[in-house]
Structure 1
Amino acid sequence: MADRSLMLVLHDVAPETWADYRSFVAAVDALGAVPMTWLVVPDFHRRNRLDEHPQFCRMLEQRLARGDELVLHGFHHLDEAPMPRGPHEWFMRRVLTHEGEFYALSETDAARRLEQGMAMFRQFGWPVHGFVAPGWLLGAGARRALAATGLVYTSDVRQLRLLPDFTGIEAPSLVWSARSAWRRGLSRQVSERLLARHRQAAVLRLGIHPVDMRYEYSRRYWLDTLGRLLADGRTPMTKIDWLGSNALRLGAVA
Structure 2
Amino acid sequence: MDERSVLLVLHDVAPQTWADYRPFVAAVDALGGVPITWLVVPEFHHHEALTAHDDFRRLLDSRVAKGDELTLHGYYHCDDQPAPRTPKAWFMRRLYTHEGEFYQLRQDQALQRISDGIEVFRRYDWPLQGFVAPAWLMSRGTRQALRQLPLTYTSDPQHLYRLPDFTPVNAPGLVWSARSAWRRGLSKCLSDRREQRWQAAPVIRLGLHPVDMRHEFSRRYWLETLQRLLNAGRTPLTKAAWLATQP
How many Å separate the matches in 2 of 1:227 and 1:109?
41
Which of structure 1's runs of 4+ aligned residues deviate more than 3 A? Answer: none
How many Å separate the matches in 2 of 1:200 and 1:91?
35
The amino acid across from 1:243 in the alignment is L
The match for 2:53 is 53
The amino acid across from 1:87 in the alignment is P
Q: 1:83 deviation in Å?
A: 1.2
How many Å separate the matches in 1 of 2:9 and 2:126?
17
Contact 1:14 1:42 (8 Å CA) reproduced: yes
What does residue range 148-227 of structure 1 map to in structure 2 within 5 Å?
A: 148-227=148-227
| Aligned-residue CA RMSD (Å) | 1.0
Q: 1:2 deviation in Å?
A: 6.8
Q: 1:48 deviation in Å?
A: 2.2
Match status 1:81 vs 2:81? yes
TM-score, normalising length: structure 1: 0.96
Contact 1:2 1:245 (8 Å CA) reproduced: no
How many Å separate the matches in 1 of 2:203 and 2:168?
13
The match for 1:112 is 112
Question: CA 1:243–1:80 in structure 2 vs 1: closer, same or farther (change >3 Å)?
Answer: same
Question: CA 1:126–1:2 in structure 2 vs 1: closer, same or farther (change >3 Å)?
Answer: farther
The amino acid across from 1:145 in the alignment is A
How many Å separate the matches in 1 of 2:130 and 2:106?
20
Q: Report the 3-state secondary structure (helix = DSSP H, G, I; strand = E; otherwise coil) of the residue aligned with 1:160.
A: strand
How many Å separate the matches in 1 of 2:169 and 2:226?
22
The match for 1:141 is 141
The match for 2:8 is 8
How many Å separate the matches in 2 of 1:85 and 1:202?
42
CA offset digits 1:96-149 (Å, max 9, x no partner): 110000011111111000110000000000011000000000001111011111
How many Å separate the matches in 1 of 2:158 and 2:148?
23
Contact 1:102 1:133 (8 Å CA) reproduced: yes
CA offset digits 1:146-196 (Å, max 9, x no partner): 111120000000100111111111111100000000000000000001101
How many Å separate the matches in 1 of 2:151 and 2:240?
11
How many Å separate the matches in 2 of 1:51 and 1:10?
20
Query: Which ranges in structure 2 are unaligned for 5 or more consecutive residues?
Result: none
Query: Which ranges in structure 1 are unaligned for 5 or more consecutive residues?
Result: 250-254
Question: CA 1:148–1:18 in structure 2 vs 1: closer, same or farther (change >3 Å)?
Answer: same
Q: Which moved more, 1:2-11 or 1:84-93?
A: 84-93
The match for 1:237 is 237
- Identity level (%): 60
Question: CA 1:75–1:2 in structure 2 vs 1: closer, same or farther (change >3 Å)?
Answer: farther
Contact 1:10 1:208 (8 Å CA) reproduced: yes
TM-score, normalising length: structure 2: 0.98
Contact 1:37 1:70 (8 Å CA) reproduced: yes
What does residue range 98-109 of structure 1 map to in structure 2 within 5 Å?
A: 98-109=98-109
The match for 1:17 is 17
How many Å separate the matches in 1 of 2:168 and 2:129?
16
The match for 2:123 is 123
